[in-house]
Every structure is written in structure tokens, then in C-alpha cells.
Amino acid sequence: MFDTATTQVIEPVPPQPPARRRTRGLRVLFTGLLTLLLGGTALVAIEPLRRPLPAPTVTQTLPASTIIPGTAPAVPWPETGQAALSVEGLGSLGTSGGSNPVPIASVTKVMTAYVILTEHPLDRGEHGPKLTVSAEQAAAYPRELARGESLVAVVAGAVFTERQALQAVLLPSANNMARILAAWDAGSVEAFVAKMNRTAAALGMTDTHYTDPSGLDPDTVSTAVDQVILARKAMQLPAFAEIVAQKKATLPVAGTVRNYNSLVGRDGVVGIKTGSTDEAGGCLVFAAVVKVGGRRITIVGAVLGQPGANTPVQLDRVFRATRPLVRTAAAAITEHPIVRAGDQVATVRGPLGTGTTINAAKDLTVVGWPGMRVRLDVDIPAVPTRLPAEAEHGRVSAVAGEGTPVATALRTGVGLEPPSTWDRIRQHR
């Protein structure tokens, strides 16, 4: 017989998952987290690089104006009468004696000549058209002479060129030739006087009124200021400036005549016109030329109402009053450096602390006198983020008084560079 035994059944246990699978999962998780972290950091770093850099800002450090240093010139004005003094292209040195219209005697002939030359222009040296003295004009000469007028000898049928007639008016101050010229131009003296007054109004001579072309009539009145306005315009006419600078001329019938203005040729004086009557006293409108820094500067002035018993005394006194004015103005006009080469004109502030300066490339020098205001104008284009050192960028100009602007270029100081990538990232951390 066989023994019977009981059999025990053991259930199988499933194996554990491999350890490497768990490690791989952790690695994937870690890699994902790291990717997210690095991606976020990259986004943070790239974000400021996407933003455009702000444009550099410019701050002007040069003032808008300045005053020429030193003591303003003390002008020796005459004790009596009126006076005005001006420098062409710069402005007025002042006036004295008020602004009431007063008789101006033969200074009137400046307007007579100005109207003739604007109606019948002449170049330097040109004689122009001819005019013939009529029998009536010649017959008036003895009567005019008996009145003690300033004249040139004429006869019926005498022929004068326009230049010769103007020489007679402006040098020996011929009243009769002023009337002859007036009738030649306008048909009558009255019509010509109307032209004179229209011209005065057009020039802004608000305190001037003409009643005759010679100035013999005391009702012809003006002011020193108005006569300077006219003189400045007249001196721009080549033939006028040429004639008033002459000391003498040769005319038909009269022969050689001399300029009553004895200042011509002294102290740079180049004209313009004398005048004297009992009512007007001694009068002079004058121009003088000085050279400053290679430039020719014209001084223009007027002195009216200098006392005296007769023409020689009146003219002597007006000459004595005028010479100090001319000398003072000539001495006062000099060159003045307003901006020096290398002077800072502006600062430039770029993004993230970058920057440079903008400086004058050369000296900027004006002509004027102490106490005169000088206007300064700076023109600087928009500044890019990159600009080399010593690069030309803009201009600065200066204007003294009423003068013409002078200018020089501007240059950068150190180079202007945009901030680096690292600086831009670090700035926004």
C-alpha cells in the first residue's frame, strides 16, 4: 500500500520593476524642470534686448546771448544841436540833442542826389545822360548870386552830364544845379520835391519834410537820426559814394570846384555833405571807413545845428564836433572772441549712462564794441546712439548787434557708443 501525503501550493510573487525605469523617470522630470527654468531665465534676459534704446538727449550749455566784455565807449556828443552815430552792419552808438525836426540847410542835397541816382542810376566812373541849361535857368544866376546863395557858374546852353551836375550839387553845394537837376528829372521843382517826400516816407524818415531841393528854405526840416537813415542808403549807391569822396572836380563853365567838406581824406572820412544857413547853423552828414580784422567797416553819422555867425564859423564848429565822434567810433570797433575752440557748447546723455560733449571746433570772433549784446544760435541735429570722437556735428553762430552772423562747426568730445548687451541685461536684473 502507498502512503498518502498532503501537497502545499505556493502562489508566485510578481517581480519588482527594474530600478533603472524609476531613475529614467526622475531624469525626465528633472530635465523638464531645468528646461522650464532655463527657458524662463532666457526670456528674462532677452526681454530688455527687445526694447529699443532711448535716443540720446542734448542739453545746451552755451547761453542764448552774451555781452562783449569791457567798458562801453563814452561818446563825446556835441554840447549843442543834434547828433547821431551809427556803424553800418552793427547798429547805433547813440544819439544826442533830442528828436525835434530842425532846418538842415544843404544836407538836403543828399536826398536830391539820392532821388536822381535811383531814377537815373550810374556806375562808378559813368557820366550818364546830358542835360542842357536853359536860358531861364541861366538868367536866374545873377539874382541867386545877389542873395548870397551857394552856386556854380552856368550859361544858357551849357551841357552837363548827370555826373557833373551831381558833382556840382554835392561838392561846392550848388543850389542852382539842385534846382536844374530837379526840373530835368521831374519836369518841375515842385514835382521833384513831391518825389523827395515820398522817398523819405518810404525810407521811414518820419520826422523829415522837404520843401525845396537845395535846403535854402528853412521849412525843409529833418533830424540827425533820419539823416543817418538816408546816408546809409545813399552810400550804397556806387556813384554817390564815389562823388562825395572827391576833394575836387572839373565842371563846364565853372572849371575846378572844391568839396566844402574839409574832413574828406582825414580820419578815414569818405563824405558826405555839409550844410549851413543862419537858421540851420553848421550841419554835416558824414561817413568814415575803418579796417577791423580785414573787414571794411563804415561809420555813418550826422551833426546838426552847430552855432556860428557865418558859414566858415559854422562849418568849422561842425567839423570840430564831428572828428571826436569819428575817432571814438573807430577806436571802439574791435574784434572780440566770443567762443573759443574747444569750448563746450552742449552735453549729450545717452542710454544707460553713456554720453559725450559737443564743443566748438574753432574760435568764433565778432566785430563790435564793449557792452554790445551778441546773440548765440546753436544748431545740433539729432544725435545717434553711436558717434565717433571728434566728429563734426552741428554749428554755432554769433551775431553782434545788427551784424552778419559768423559761424563755426561743432565737434564731439569722446566717442559715443551704445551700451553693451551685458550692460543692457544687467541694468534690468
Q: 199 with 254, same domain?
A: yes
Q: Is 291 tagged catalytic?
A: no
Report the alpha-carbon angle 88-403-363, nearest 5: 130
- pLDDT at position 422: 59
Q: Which has the closest alpha carbon to 400: 378, 365, 377, 374?
A: 374
Q: 165 with 304, same domain?
A: yes
> What does 209-261 look like in DSSP terms, one character per residue?
B-S-SSS-STT-EE-HHHHHHHHHHHTTSHHHHHHHT-SEEEETTTEEEE-S-
Asked whether residue 195 is marked as a ligand-binding residue, the answer is no
Q: 282 with 348, same domain?
A: no
Predicted TM-score of the model (pTM)? 0.82
Q: 304 with 342, same domain?
A: no
Q: Distance between CA 217 and CA 105 in Å, rounded?
A: 7
Q: 102 with 132, same domain?
A: yes
- Per DSSP, the three-state class of 163 is helix
* pLDDT tens sequence across 103-154: 999 999 999 999 999 999 999 999 999 999 999 999 999 999 999 999 999 9
Q: Which domain-ending residue is among 306, 332, 358?
A: 332
Q: Distance between CA 279 and CA 132 in Å, rounded?
A: 33
Domain harbouring 286, CATH code: 3.40.710.10
Strand partners, 373: 67
Burial string for 307-321 (b: 16+ CB within 10 Å, else e) reads: ebeebeebbebbbeb
- pLDDT at position 232: 97
* pLDDT tens sequence across 208-248: 999 999 999 999 999 999 999 999 999 999 999 999 999 99
- pLDDT at position 25: 57
- pLDDT at position 424: 56
Q: 204 with 290, same domain?
A: yes
Q: Is 233 tagged catalytic?
A: no
Q: Is 106 tagged catalytic?
A: yes
How many domains does the chain fold into?
A: 2
Q: From the candidates 86, 96, 106, 222, which is the catalytic residue?
A: 106
In a domain, 412, yes or no: yes
**Peptide bond just before 104 cis, omega within 30 deg:** no
Q: From the candidates 173, 214, 222, 276, which is the catalytic residue?
A: 173
Q: 287 with 191, same domain?
A: yes
- pLDDT at position 59: 95
Low-confidence ranges of the chain (pLDDT < 50): 1-7, 9-10, 34, 36-38, 40-45
Write out the residue range of the structural domain in which residue 389 sits: 57-69+337-427
Residue type, position 196, single letter:
M
Q: From the candidates 109, 150, 214, 222, which is the catalytic residue?
A: 109
